[in-house]
Amino acid sequence: MSQPGFKIQNSNSTPSKPEDMSRGPRYALLPSEGGSTDDVEIEAYVPRPSRKKAENLVYLSACIGGILSSTVSVILLLSGIGGTAQQSMSASLPTRRASTYLGLDKVDFTGSPTFPPISSFAHVVLQADLQSPQRAMSEDDRSYYSPEGVIYPDDRHILATPNVSTVVQFRNLDYGMERCALWISTPPVNMSHNPAIRMDDVTIDIWELDMADELFPLAGVSGKWAAPPRRRSLYADRLVLKEDSSGTVKLKEFLCRSGEFTTFEVSCSPGINDCLLDFWQVKGMPLNGVSMRQFDSVHLSGVVV
């Protein structure tokens, strides 16, 4: 004899008693082949999650996520405020470029030819406002509009007055060229660019600044710079430049470590009220304005100084 089957009680049938809707479906035995039986209801319990409990879990998860997100945002905000405060003290984000001269310090250069000198121009030229408490720096340019868009020539502004100084930064190039010197000259009038010279005989000081890392604008603020680094030592004291001079003045040599940056500030000497040094220089030959020359430092004693 076959086993009795099950059938789901029709939802349209009238139940003899109210059903508990929170419980599972109800089942009844079917009659076997040999006879009939009274319907015997068998209740099958199927667990169902509580809807209210699920909603509470969703709300709890959302609250925890919101709290964590707010905490992270506050931490990042405080970090940004601290970073901005540090940046206001310096115009630099300390950055060192990886050396490309790996292993050269182990090479014996004895008997090799002397390296010829190399010349370079400052890659950063900025004006510092000496009247502001922060001595904030800015960058002058000779931009102009053209059919192709805005053009930024590579002319750099050298300006020194009782109220303004100029900060220049050079990158120390090559290996074994760690003897450096500044060269100062006024641009000749026959250069391809217009130097727009405004000066009389002028007396200036040149300060070496305490910055061997690369200068950068303030993070997140386009074209804005902070105060220049502090003055470390007086490199040239009361240097006289003449308007009609066509020569170039070579200043004293100094150590310039390979891969680092050398930073100077050109300012009027104290007590010179009518001081004015104002011209535009361009990266090109002949050397003009403020440039740096590097000399062989390997063959002095067989090792880099």
| Rounded Cα–Cα distance for residues 266 and 290 (Å) | 10
Residue in the structure block whose two tokens are 């200043």:
251
**251 phi-psi bin (left φ>0, alpha ψ -120 to 50, beta other):** beta
| pLDDT score of 304 more than 50 | no
Place 213 in a pLDDT band, splitting at 50, 70 and 90.
confident
Residue in the structure block whose two tokens are 């506050």:
74
| pLDDT score of 302 more than 60 | no
| Rounded Cα–Cα distance for residues 6 and 43 (Å) | 11
Domain ranges of the chain: 1-48, 54-88, 104-295
pTM: 0.63
Place 85 in a pLDDT band, splitting at 50, 70 and 90.
very low
- pLDDT of 288 reads 79
| Rounded Cα–Cα distance for residues 298 and 286 (Å) | 27
- Six-digit token pair at 107? 């090479």
Tell me the one-letter amino acid at 82: G
Tell me the one-letter amino acid at 99: S
Cβ(292)–Cβ(208) below 8 Å:
no
Taking alpha carbons only, the member of 180, 233, 235, 227 closest to residue 204 is 235
- pLDDT of 248 reads 79
Instruction: Name the most confidently modeled range: 14-23, 138-147, 190-199.
Output: 138-147
Place 204 in a pLDDT band, splitting at 50, 70 and 90.
very high
